[in-house]
Chains A and B, each alone.
Chain A
């Protein structure tokens, strides 16, 4: 199993450009999510999905779009990049059992710089 994979590893964008961060998992996990990590702020939830065709907003969703057409893939789209979106982005996945702690498995991250 490759686990959770993310591409690209690094990306530099200019203000106003758009791009898609890719995330895939091969563990048949129902739950997938995107976080951003900024110094001194921990990881903050951007969007999440409890299954194919179902997405919802997290704590900091503005400026980002997601879709979940398959169980395996959960891409994150930046519609018009802004310098405030400079961050490290992590994708995570887990099973979705209720009344249980579902360990979340994180990808290696994408480091994004917006100039």
Chain B
């Protein structure tokens, strides 16, 4: 069963715009909610992560918003740049901080 539902599947944003990717989860027993970024031909790399007792976390142009009651969390990329073009995966963690369950991914393209 899909424990994490991610949308949209693909996204095109103009340079300087805001990219928003959403995820919804079903199980309430998750410990952390990370986002991974993957460039073509590479492995995923951690972008940013949030704990469930925090509603928002910001690192540079990247922000996670977390809504515990709605079981949703989202990634906002401010001032999107062509270098941000990649596939983004949300994930949930259980089992003491290691076992990742990924969303299906969002392919982001930032156009000039």
- Please list the residues of chain A having a beta carbon within 8 angstroms of any beta carbon in chain B: 4, 31, 33, 35, 40-45, 48, 50, 58-59, 90, 92, 94, 96-109
Contacts and interface: CB of A to CB of B under 8 A. Distances in A.
Interface of B: 6, 9, 31-32, 34, 41-46, 49, 51, 89, 93, 96-105
Given A40-B104, A43-B102, A101 B51 contact: yes
A101 B49 contact: yes
Q: Which of B34, B41, B99, B101 has the most CB of A within 10 A?
A: B99
Contacts of A108: 41-43
A102 B44 contact: no
A107 B43 CA distance: 6
Nearest to A107: B43
A59 B41 CA distance: 24
A106 B43 contact: yes
A97 B104 contact: no
Nearest to A111: B41
B43 A42 contact: no
Nearest to A93: B98
Contacts of A101: 31-32, 34, 49, 51, 93, 97
Nearest to A6: B43
A54 to B, nearest CB: 13
Given A59-B101, A107-B43, 11 more contacts: A4-B43, A42-B102, A44-B102, A45-B99, A48-B99, A98-B96, A101-B34, A101-B93, A103-B49, A105-B45, A106-B44
6 contacts: A42-B103, A44-B102, A97-B97, A101-B34, A104-B100, A108-B41
